A and B are shown apart, each in its own frame.
Chain A
């Protein structure tokens, strides 16, 4: 039997909109994953440190402050610098369509879920994209 998928739900940036992050964290736990939630106001360094320390398969970033174009690349870079580029990065929040395109094309995130996405969709995406031994 394969081990359970480990997810870090992280809330970078200065805003306090954690409704989405907490709903997702709980839903992923209910879907059988191991979930760690960082709490609010995390710096990219703190997010990456937690991801490595908790040995997660995927990091979910919830960003509603408009700082996504800065935060996604920074976190991807830090993961790579720390030899952890096997950790996938997904995200959600108020992220305009053209920014989603730019972030995905730049390789700064594997997937972005915009408002209206169901929990089932997110669970299905993780299950089919995250490979656990």
Chain B
């Protein structure tokens, strides 16, 4: 290719002369992340392109083309719809419904009190029980949540972070009750506390003890729950908070490197825990930018893991990821249009080689999704898988001058952020300096101004608006009685359980937290005794203290 470059340059110059006489639309041509894009890409944009070095074959280093040698010819991505609402009993019914419709993995959404480590009867839980996910206070609720769902047959993803260790122990204990040993459990806990400080903001303890809990989980998992993904390093929330695609890529991978360094600093061998790290990215609306982001992510991760952290096991080099379409790209206006947005985003994720995918429902911008909306979202994935032909060919956009140039660009820009983060003293120091938070706030503000000024068009919102539109789609309502019932349930449990056993287990946990032991066995014992999540969190909060943000805007 290289020897033809002068000829191509001549051709391009001629074309440039002709095309510069044509008037373009009055529009700033850039990605949704404000990255400028050229009007045309040619071999001149990737002059040093080297297939073996830059891409490799699928399933081979540096994995730009995908993590499996046969990708979707082996099996499709896991179609994993995030769901959970009200109480364990209602959510259990929704899971059984989803499994009967052909969904292949479960993904549990918890309500805010559960996410923040409060029991349903805590004053701070008032009005929030079962609203945005399912309320889980104790092992009793977890047993109900998976009633009739054999844990050795499904893989389960749980979106929990600050109290991840506790909910994970409840899942392990539920497996024990079903007779499924922990070695057979498969699934993921999000457990990514760094992005909580950066973007999602559901924290409890300060960063240092939070990182200790995470390395405790790494250590326990490699001995007892070897098939579990111990952390899902998440860019999704960073993007939803308003970041650009490059920021999502760079901050997420920087978090990943921080977990690797923490694990190694805790004395673990990198190849013992790195294969169980997984990632979670956003699928936003700018099609090619997203595809380039996923490809760049795989390549950066593989190179760093091998070259910087000295990982020897190829499984440590693999960046496996879950994707969710962008909630923030959806509009409350003309919500049916969200089906189309989600479909393009999902197609981008598939072309980018995702391992699992959640497609948002059209009504999620208004409330929790109805069954009909969830079904359309799942069908969207099935249409991509079974009808479009896209999954037949591995990484079909490789070699596109644009996609390769953009992949390189994403990598270069991410490297600039890595250097900046290092200059600031690492990820924890950058969080403390509000660096990530300010970068994201700036990007979010820039985007909103562009929409308000119509420099960026959002269909149905600032252009093509239906006057006097009234939304006539069904909305899922949560009955307020659910909160009262859940409060009664946890209070009844506290009266009926063996409270001596609970107190003994919690005191043992307190001692472990004050020392240097791995805390997981003590949390597991507390859970088995039916200590509530709120009680366990309270013990750790008393030992570790609470994180306080410095609000900026």
Contacts and interface: CB of A to CB of B under 8 A. Distances in A.
Contacts of B365: 94, 115
B445 A97 contact: no
B444 A19 contact: yes
B444 A116 contact: no
Interface stretch (A38-46, A51-59, A78-86, A104-112): A38-46
B553 A22 contact: yes
Interface string A95-133: 011000000000000000011101110000000000000
B488 interface: no
Interface string B252-269: 000000000000000000
Contacts of B445: 22-23, 26-27
A29 B552 CA distance: 13
Contact of B112 (A14, A25, A96): A14
Contacts of A39: 549-551
A18 interface: yes
A70 B127 CA distance: 6
Nearest to A28: B553
A96 B368 CA distance: 11
Q: Is the interface of A mostly helix, strand, loop or mixed?
A: loop
A27 B449 CA distance: 9
Interface residues of A, number: 37
A67 B550 CA distance: 24
B448 interface: yes
Contacts, number: 108
Contacts of A115: 331-332, 365
A10 B104 CA distance: 40
A38 B551 contact: yes
Contact of A27 (B116, B196, B448): B448
A22 B366 contact: no
Given A22-B441, A94-B366, A43 B332 contact: no
Interface in B443-481: 444-445, 448-449, 451-452, 461-462, 470-471, 475, 478
A14 B118 CA distance: 10
Contacts of A27: 445, 448-449
A71 B332 CA distance: 22
Nearest to A71: B127
Interface of B: 112-113, 115-116, 118, 123-128, 131-132, 196, 199-202, 240-242, 328, 331-333, 365-368, 441, 444-445, 448-449, 451-452, 461-462, 470-471, 475, 478, 549-553
Interface of A: 9, 13-19, 21-23, 25-27, 29, 35, 37-41, 43, 65-67, 69-71, 94, 96-97, 114-116, 118-120
Given A16-B196, A66-B128, 17 more contacts: A9-B553, A13-B127, A14-B112, A15-B202, A16-B202, A19-B328, A22-B553, A25-B553, A27-B449, A40-B201, A40-B549, A43-B124, A65-B112, A65-B132, A66-B478, A115-B332, A119-B452
26 contacts: A9-B553, A13-B127, A14-B116, A14-B128, A15-B112, A16-B201, A17-B240, A18-B241, A19-B328, A22-B552, A23-B444, A23-B553, A25-B553, A39-B551, A40-B201, A65-B112, A65-B128, A66-B368, A67-B112, A70-B126, A70-B128, A94-B367, A96-B367, A97-B470, A115-B331, A118-B452
